[in-house]
Amino acid sequence: MAQDYNNTLNLPDTEFSMRAGLPNKEPKMLQAWEEDGLYAKMVENNEGKPVYILHDGPPYANASIHMGTAMNKVLKDIIVRYKNMAGFKAPYVPGWDCHGLPIERKAMEEVRKNQKKEKKKTGQEPKALSDYEMRELCYDYAMRFVDVQRNQFKRLGALGDWEDPYLTLAPGYEAKQIEIFGEMAKKGYIYKGLKPVIWCAHDKTALAEAEIEYENDPVDTLYVAFQVKKDNGVLQKAGLDPEKVWFVIWTTTAWTLPANVAICLGPDFDYVAVKAGERVYIVAEALLESTMASCHISEYETLATFKGKDLERIETQHCYLDRRSLVILGDHVTLESGTGCVHTAPGHGVEDYDVVSRHYPELPMIVPVNDVGIFTEEVGPFEGMTIWEASPKIVEFLQQNGTAIGVTHETHQYPHCWRCHNPILFRATEQWFCSVEDFREETYKAIDSVQWVPEWGQGRMTAMVRDRADWTISRQRLWGMPIPVFYCEACGEYVIDDETISAVQELFAKEGSNAWFKYSAEEILPAGYKCKCGASQWRKEKDTMDVWFDSGTSHAYVLEKWKDHHWPADLYLEGSDQFRGWFQSSLLTAVATRGVSPYKTVVSAGWVVDGEGRKMSKSLGNGIEPEQVIKEYGADIIRLWVAAADYHADMRISKEILKQLSEGYRKIRNTARFMLGNLSDFNPDTDSVTDGELLDLDRWALAELDELAAIAKEGYDTFDFHKVYHNAHRFCVVSMSNFYLDIIKDRLYITPKNGSKRRAAQTAMFRILVSITEILAPILAFTSQEIWEYIPSFKGKQKYAVMHEMPKPGTYTLTETEREKWDTIIAITADVKKVLENARTNKEIGSSLEASVLLHCDDKLYSFTKDILPELADIFIVSEVQAVLDGEGEPGEVEGLKVEVRHASGDKCERCWQYRDSVSEGGSHPGLCDRCAGILSEA
């Protein structure tokens, strides 16, 4: 009967569990980190090092986080952790955007619910809330969700100054914002004017460009003819009867036609007069065919050709109202679509407004739509209708009066309010603006000074600034930062000067912006403050500031106020939508007040979409919440998801993707577990061998680690975290589990416990485990720390992996000759494994240790293999390897090599399982080969 020699083996031993159990482990770890002050210790550990500041873009404090906000916070945490491990002191102050319509709406919903309950209970109408009381409720609502989101972000493992975040509603922050507003006003950048703005009729407020989203809407594309009434002799000179000539415009917004005052042509474009029936139509020559086809006009004749500038100031009759529409010229006219004759309504379009206000100031700006989107009396028969109700009726009316000569039905992308999801309108209203045009050139220079990741961000930001003449900074809402402007009750003039700004700033610093609604204008202003006209009675501005102005001034408050911070920030990182939002508003306020960018580097991320690339929505039922993932897999899987893909593009997530990631995670974890199990009896300070005592295979494994360290450094430094994860995963699975660790099992299990070969393997494995744990610490925040706590203690080991420095590339290297040697060995091994697998499939062998491998080599390869033959049996994990010149075998990828596999001769050793002729049937160690017998005899 064979003896059991298991108790003579050095088998792995560790309490590090195979099953991750992250949903249960992570909360306990978080509690321990918080009680121990891990964040503060991490930052203090880097005292004296260069400071690196990632400035947090503040999320809205109005709801629980979603996968997009989770991705955002994990990306930032990866960077903060890495920078603190890469030679920097990198504090992180999280922030929240606490004003704005989303919070006001949610708070109002709660108020209405409570009032409804109160009325039902008492039978009486509840008392109406004052503006001050309503703002107090908005404040409470925002603070409630600051706490909710703070806990959710902490659950993701994000480290930061959570107990002292920055809030846009904090008195100090609001006071700084007033200061910035005042500086911009002093330079003449802030003004009040009547201009078209993006308007939400549902919420009755102006919107920023960053507050709209595009959706597909059905639309009537309308071709409308305007009859000439005064041609200034131009048409008659060409032999045309002016009364029969009509200019044809094109529009997809029929509701804007009542505000039409002009038809705009490209000055250098060619326009043709074509006869169709009794009428003569004027359109751009380049668009004649498409226009006629859309209007179903097949027979027409060209009578004359004009340059656009020749037709300037011809007067036409409005398509249904009793007024004239002037033919004007504009450089914004294109020949991409339409007719080349552009319907111009300066009350409803920015480009229309610009061309009219600059070159045709005599034209009126008509805005026949009120703040809830209802037509006023100027529109005649459509008065009292919403613009959406009126649009099809206008089309029908124009078809009946003969001016609508073509109608097509299409679906196009139209802007909608991102909060209420209703279509917006462009509508001229009195608003406060920031004139971006006044400091545009300085902004371009600032953009050029920034590193943009990806690089296309530079062009995108430049284009957005180029296309923006003004920034609408006022909102018709209650819950926001008041615009610190006072109006004289006597003459109506407004005032913004050093005295008024200083008074408001001091008040807000002391009591917060709610004080604006608590005190009268006279109580806020300096005692006896008078208008230029001599009056001293004042009223306050009712509008509040765009929330992008709120968050856009965060750099001035946070980067200068917080300990260990500096201005400008080293990094801003947000979603790509922030080119229209926070990236831009921060840039504009900084350039306007300081002349330079508030950030050195900008990194942008894509959107989170489902596994098929679709936007997540309740209607599709394809949404995945962070809480759901954490409950099933743990936060580290979310972190791995963030790091595993190129987040600069849209990030896909689905149950299938999460399963794949959890499998990848499992392989990394099991690799670490194997190494931990085989280091259970290893004391790094006393058992480590010198570099000279390492075997060639150990040195190869450390060189692979060195290469990973270089890739990881580059990946982290360039914000390409997917390179870090995928190469770390490949290292664990391919270089370690499938090769190195598999090969050294014999050394670890069989050779003497304290033998030099085993200690050499443990030394290499220890160094590898420490380094791979450090490399993955920014990504797998929980698992890396769990591994760290099981790694044997060593001199200099700190309590937390994140308090160690990243492994430095160049520590372990191979010469070019050594690298070529191992590349050849690995290639040969791959060919051998294929043949071994075939032999196993054909039942010629069971395990690979039953095999004897013959390498049939050409002269060059034979010379190479004979020198390393003693190493190859261990590398192939077989009992015997022979190299012979030429012969028959299975060819593979290696040139000059054929592989033959036979069953090994001799008997199986009961301890090492290798086949040896030296296996003894008797003696003190029956069933063992001479190697194993010798080991036990010396034990």
DSSP for 751-762, please give it: S-TT-HHHHHHH
Q: Which two tokens stand for residue 153?
A: 């972000």
Cα angle value 71/76/80 (rounded, 5°): 150
CB atoms within 10 A of CB 919: 21
Q: Which two tokens stand for residue 344?
A: 């111009």
Kindly report, residue by residue over 768-798, the tens digit of the pLDDT: 999 999 999 999 999 999 999 999 999 999 9
pTM of the model: 0.88
CB atoms within 10 A of CB 492: 10
What is the C-alpha separation between 13 and 673, in angstroms, rounded? 9
What is the C-alpha separation between 47 and 563, in angstroms, rounded? 12
Q: Which two tokens stand for residue 443?
A: 């902004």
Helix axes 741-749, 655-677, angle to 10 degrees: 30
Alpha carbon separation from 131 to 23, 104, 108, 776 (Å, rounded): 45, 12, 12, 51
What is the C-alpha separation between 441 and 448, in angstroms, rounded? 11
Contacts of 607 (CB under 8 A, 6+ apart): 68, 575, 576, 615, 650, 651
What is the C-alpha separation between 416 and 229, in angstroms, rounded? 38
What is the C-alpha separation between 600 and 341, in angstroms, rounded? 45
Kindly report, residue by residue over 108-130, the tens digit of the pLDDT: 888 888 888 887 888 887 888 89
Residue 743 near residue 877, CB atoms below 8 Å: yes
Residue 308 near residue 268, CB atoms below 8 Å: yes
Q: Which amino acid would we find at residue 909? A: C
Residue pointed to by tokens 């929505």? 617
DSSP string, 355-384: HHHHH-TTS-----B-TTSBB-GGGGGGTT
Q: Provide the pairing of β-strand 538-540 with 486-488.
A: antiparallel
Length of the chain: 939
Whether a cis peptide bond, with omega within 30° of 0, leads into 926 is no
Closest alpha carbon to 173 in 613, 581, 552: 552
What is the C-alpha separation between 642 and 652, in angstroms, rounded? 10
pLDDT, residue 893, reads: 94
Q: Which amino acid would we find at residue 910? A: E
Alpha carbon separation from 124 to 115, 119, 137 (Å, rounded): 10, 5, 22
What is the distance of C-alpha 496 from the center of its chain? 38
Q: Which two tokens stand for residue 700?
A: 């190869």
Q: Provide the pairing of β-strand 599-605 with 608-610.
A: unpaired
Cα dihedral 54, 59, 64, 65 sign: negative
pLDDT, residue 371, reads: 87
Kindly report, residue by residue over 749-759, the tens digit of the pLDDT: 999 999 999 99
Q: Which amino acid would we find at residue 878? A: V
Q: Which amino acid would we find at residue 61? A: A
Residue 226 near residue 325, CB atoms below 8 Å: yes
Nearest 10 degrees: Cα torsion 710, 713, 717, 721: 100
Q: What are phi and psi of 173, to 5 degrees?
A: -65, -45
CB atoms within 10 A of CB 212: 19
Cross-strand partners of 852: 880, 902
Cross-strand partners of 404: 224
CB atoms within 10 A of CB 735: 22
Residue pointed to by tokens 């995108």? 460
H or E stretch covering 96? strand 95-96
What is the C-alpha separation between 761 and 701, in angstroms, rounded? 10
DSSP string, 297-352: ----EEEEEEEGGGGTT-EEE-SSSSSEEEEEE-TT--SSSS-SEEEE-TTT-HHH
> What's 204's DSSP letter?
T
204: left (phi over 0), alpha (psi -120 to 50) or beta: left
Residue pointed to by tokens 């309308």? 222
Q: CA end-to-end span of the chain, whole Å?
A: 23
> What's 578's DSSP letter?
G
DSSP 3-state assignment of 619? coil
What is the distance of C-alpha 811 from the center of its chain? 35
Residue 344 near residue 357, CB atoms below 8 Å: no
H or E stretch covering 819? helix 816-841
Give all strands of the β-sheet with 486-488 in edge-to-edge order: 494-495, 486-488, 538-540
Closest alpha carbon to 19 in 665, 827, 454: 665
Burial class (CB in 10 A: 0-12, 13-18, 19+), 222: buried
Residue 218 near residue 411, CB atoms below 8 Å: yes
Mean pLDDT by 10 residues, the chain (939 residues): 82 95 97 97 97 97 94 98 98 96 88 84 83 94 97 98 97 97 96 87 79 82 96 95 96 94 96 96 96 94 96 96 95 92 93 91 92 90 92 94 91 80 86 94 98 97 91 92 96 95 97 96 94 94 95 96 94 95 97 98 94 78 90 97 95 94 97 98 97 96 97 98 97 97 96 96 98 98 98 97 96 93 96 96 94 95 92 96 92 95 94 93 85 89
Q: Which amino acid would we find at residue 81? A: R
Q: Provide the pairing of β-strand 451-453 with 599-605.
A: parallel
Q: What are phi and psi of 482, to 5 degrees?
A: -60, 145
> What's 16's DSSP letter?
S
pLDDT, residue 2, reads: 59
pLDDT, residue 119, reads: 79
140: left (phi over 0), alpha (psi -120 to 50) or beta: alpha
Residue 82 near residue 803, CB atoms below 8 Å: no
What is the C-alpha separation between 419 and 80, in angstroms, rounded? 32
Q: Provide the pairing of β-strand 324-329 with 301-307.
A: unpaired
